[in-house]
Structure 1
């Protein structure tokens, strides 16, 4: 089987890339290791309207989120938002399926139960070493945090990994507000969440490397007096890889480390990556230079670098410092958060905080 582009991974980023390239007239195949798209679900499924806009999908919304209760390590709480819809809880399985259906409608072919293991370059083409001989002019790794494509071709690694687990259970919470929990006793190196989706809620957390994910997850559910339902776990890559392409081999989405380090969200950065990559591959096919990394940095990569800086500050902060910050947050700061807070572009809020609320800057330099 011969293709112009073979994409490994049928998640939203892989399907978005396939849709754009197929629509441009290229013969595209998507290699997916599972038997169907969208299963298992591997994401909290909280996105902004930008995701729905760039994906062109609207009928997957399960709930609208107007704000959040953020809980400090010491038990403090602040309420942010409430004025308008800031995010959407989506049916992630349906979202993935619709993304694939749109790619198929443009002519993309999906190869199910096909697990990428190895590939070799031959006469400028790439030959996939698996049960069927598949040849392609360009290979795209959209195969997640532990990308086999990246490993096969020795791409540099991401900065770090966060390990996350989530369950969906009946839970009585405010319909249009998420809960975020901070603290090293709850979720060291990340945070915990409660996301309402109607009569049920998605309850989960992430932890940094070196921590026992299952133990912290069990403790969090016990704290909430929740019995565990079916759960799913995943790996979140943080810190974009130093290289996104090598000749006719490309990485996109989680495989490239295109993930917001502040929230762990990868759908929006990945869809931006798919848009930029599809255009870059077309240039490459036409004999031009690959501008993928440069274009992605201009489009969204700089925001990802800023999010890694914010994460470094977060990791350095002891629980006592976070509690002190919470104690210093007043009505004016809340207003700034409500006016400028954006989970896709946290640097916009940071810029306003620095300009308008200099009293918070002292916490960057406290020794605890």
Structure 2
């Protein structure tokens, strides 16, 4: 009888806690999320694709703090695709860093990469921005497959940001910064809040803020690395089946570079080795970012100078990794192959 009574008491406590968590969600959290969705500058919408849940609004045009932001009819940041595909087409995959969340269209990393390729090669390439803020590796995998049908890229580079190891519906959920939960509220609120507290504790933002910590990066990577590597391997397999050249460019953490060395060099090495073991071309060298200050903001996003440096590094990586595409861009004729 004592055991039955204890179990009954536990059930009552859990149900009461769930009721309290639900009340907090509907009275505090949901109104905040709904207010954000209702803002004129909100350029996301619900997606019919259950793996994505949300997506960019096709045709959106706006200005954010003086920065222009255009989303084309395919739901990609940037101009409409060329009517005639007369140059190689390169898709840049990723999250908010690829998208350029703090930057104008002309300062977004994919656009700057296109400028670098145009300046360094005879013909250049049409570089597409497939980045979506908040997406992790599993959503980027789906985004690549969905958008490739409409864009027919010749090559694709995944800009692997270390927070792409975040994973929905697990303790490692969080990179969406609320976007996922705006469009997919948790069924049970108590487990959601418990996971959120654990996530914020690891990130060091339990009392507020958004800035990451080295401990958080290690926790995130260690917890989901195999699933993330499987997602990237699936991207590579999909690309191969479509005749698309594929490679991964691992973005460094500015926080890890503050001491003049890469404090996450071991993680970069492990990521590179894991992907290379799966036959994937990868660049994971952060040395080019170490000696230059002001490349990252406190949230570990690239600044304007950071985007320019990353674009130059990425353009060189593309020319080196995709010789067939480079030849079509006339890079060899320009003496930069």
TM range (shorter): under 0.3
Which structure has more strand as a fraction of its residues?
1
Richer in helix (by share): 2
TM-score (norm 1): 0.26
